[in-house]
Structure 1
C-alpha cells in the first residue's frame, strides 16, 4: 500500500488539484495543463525502485497518457479551422486516456503491475477528469457517434476479455471497461445519470479493492487456497456480485437507472448488448465465487483470528454492497 510519506502526500494533493483544474477549466489549454499535472503527480505514486512491475506499469501509463495529451493539444489548434474534426480527435484522445475500447490495450497491463491502493486511484480518481471533459462534448454530433460506438465496443470487450483471466486485477480492469460502456451511454442521455453511476461504481470498486488488499489476494488461487474464514469468503462474494450488478445488491441500482433512461430514449439494441455483456461478467464472477466457496477452509475454525484491518473492512464492505437491499423498502415508506 502507499505509505503516508510527506512527498507522496504532496503528490496526492497535486493529483487532486490537476483533476479539479481540468474539470473546471474554461479552455482546452487549461484542461490540458490539469491533465498533465494529474499525470505527473500519479507517476511517482506508482513507481518503485524495489519492484520492476510498478516501474514498467508507470512507464506504460506515462507513454499512453502523454500520447493522449499530445493529441488533445494538437487537435485544439484545429478548432478554429475544422471544429468537427478537432472535436473528434479530442474525443478519441479522451477515450484513450480512459482506457475505453477500442483503446483499452494498455489498461489491464498497467493494472497488473499495481497494488490495490494504486488500483483504487487508477479506477476512480484518474477517470474523473477525462470523463468530465468528454461529457462536455457529448452534445456534439460527431462526438455523439464516437461515444455510441465506444460504448458498444467497451461492453463487448469488457465482457469477453475477462472470461479466461486468472488475475483479479485484470478481471477488475475488464470489469471497469464494461462499466465504462454504461457511463458512456449515460452521457448521451443526461448529465446526472453518469455521475450517479460513477459514484456508485467508485464506491463499490473501492470496497472490493480494499477487501482484496486486506487479505492480500491477487489471483484465483489465492482466493481458493486462502485460509480466510467462510464469512470473509461470503463478503468477497457479495462484493463481486454487487460490482457485477446482480440484483438486489447495490451495484444494480445505477444500472437500473440507466436501463430506464435507455428505454425512454429508445436505445433498445444497445441496451440489449449492455445487458448481455453484464450477464457475461456475472458469469465469471459466479464461476470464481462458486469455486471459492465449494472448497472448505483448511485452517482450524477456532484458530481463525481477524486482524484490525479485516474487522474494519468487513462491516464496511457489507454495508456498501447491501444498502441497496433497503432502498425499495425506504421508497415504500416515503
Structure 2
C-alpha cells in the first residue's frame, strides 16, 4: 500500500474514533462512525483476491445497516424529546440503539459478519477490527448506560457468551477462533454495561491489551491455523511461552489478568441479586475455555522431550527476536496485574 494512502487511512480511522469519543451530539457520533467505516474498508480489501473483496462487501453492508438503524433511532429520539444529546435517550430509542451498536461491534445475535470478515482479512486488519473498531461503539454504550435497558443488555450479553464459546470450539482457523473469542468477551462487557459501566470498560480494555500482543505474535510467525501452532516451540520457545500465557489469560484462569474483570463482574451481579445470571455466565465461559486449552495444548505438546508432530511450514517467515522481546512487557502485564491488585 502506498505510504500516502496508508497515512490517509490511519488518519481517517483515528479521527473517526476521536470524533465519537468526544461527541455529545448523535449526528457527530454518526459521522465519526461513518468515517471509521470508510477508512478501514480499503485495508480489508487490499489483498488481491476474491475472499478479501467478499469480506469488505460484508463489512460495508452490515456496518451501513447498523449506521442506518443508529441514525433512525437518534432521529426518533430527537423527534420525541427535542434533544440530540447522547445521554438523553427515551425507552423506544434505547431499544433500537442497543442492537445497532451490537451490530457495529459484532455481538450476538447480529454477529455473523465478524468471523467471515476476519477470515478474509490480514492478521493486522483483524487486530484493528477486534480492538480499535470496538472503541467507538463501546464509548457510545458507556455514555448511554444510564438509559440502557438492562433486560436487553443482559440478553445480548448472555447470547454473545454462549455463541462465542460454542462457535469457537469448532474452528481450526485462528482468525475465526479469535473472532468468536471477541464475541464472548463482548458478551461480558455488554452484560455489565448497564449495571456497572466502569467494570465493563475495564473488561474491554484488558481484552484489548491481551489480544494485541497475541495478534502481533501471530503476524510475526504467519500462523493462521491450529496446525501451525504445533511448530511454534521448535521455531521460537519464547513465542510459544508468551502465546500460552496470553491464551490462558484470555480464558480467565486465575491468577492471570483475564480473571480480574470476570471476577468483578460476577461479584457485582451477585450483589445486584442476579445470582442465576452470574452462574449461567460462569458455566457458559467453560465453552470458551475448551478451545483456549486446546490451543495451549498444541503449543506446549511439542516441548522437549516430545518430538514435533508437524513439519515446519514453509510459509513461516523468519523474524527478529527483538520484536518478540519488545512484546514481552505487554504480555507480562497480562500475567501480573491480578497478583498486583491482590497486594
Query: After TM superposition, is the score higher than 0.5?
Result: yes
User: In structure 2, how many angstroms separate the alpha carbons of the residues matched to 1:90 and 1:183?
Assistant: 16
Structure 1 329/292 Cα, relative in aligned 2: closer, same or farther at 3 Å?
Answer: closer
Counterpart for residue 186 of structure 1: 192
Instruction: Establish whether residue 44 from structure 1 lines up as the match of residue 36 from structure 2.
Output: no
C-alpha deviations, 1:33-89, integer Å up to 9, x for none? 111111111112221252322222111101100001111112222222484322211
Deviation (angstroms), 1:210: 0.6
Match of 1:313 among 293, 304, 324: 324
Match for residue 70 of structure 1?
Answer: 68
The equivalent residue for 2:123 is 116
For residues 49 and 290 of structure 1, the distance between their equivalents in structure 2, rounded to whole angstroms, comes to 32
Offset at residue 318 of structure 1 (A) = 6.3
State the distance in 2 between where 1:291 and 1:84 align.
Answer: 48
Distance change >3 Å, CA 152–CA 28, structure 1 → 2 = same
Query: Does the CA contact (< 8 Å) of 1:223 and 1:292 recur in 2?
Result: yes
d(CA) in 1 for partners of 2:69, 2:207: 28
Q: Which runs of 5+ in 1 are unaligned?
A: none
CA RMSD of aligned residues (A): 2.4
Query: Residue 329 of structure 1: CA displacement?
Result: 5.4
TM-score (norm 2): 0.87
Residue of structure 2 in register with 1:133 after alignment: 140
Which residue number corresponds to residue 89 of structure 1?
Answer: 96
User: What's the counterpart of residue 294 of structure 2?
Assistant: 287
Matched, 1:22 2:28: no
Residue matched to 1:9 = 7
Structure 2 residue aligned with 1:232: 239
Q: Report if the CA contact (8 A) 1:196-1:254 is conserved.
A: yes
2:275 to 268, 272, 287: 268
Partner Cα distance (1:7, 1:224) in 2: 37
Which has the larger displacement, 57-66 or 283-292? 283-292
1:169-248, aligned counterparts within 5 Å?
A: 169-225=175-231, 227-248=234-255
Tell me the distance in 2 between the aligned counterparts of 1:4 and 1:331.
Answer: 48
Structure 1 length normalisation: TM-score? 0.89
- 1:317 positional shift: 4.1
| Structure 1 stretches of at least 4 aligned residues deviating more than 6 Å after TM superposition | none
Corresponding residue SS for 1:87? helix
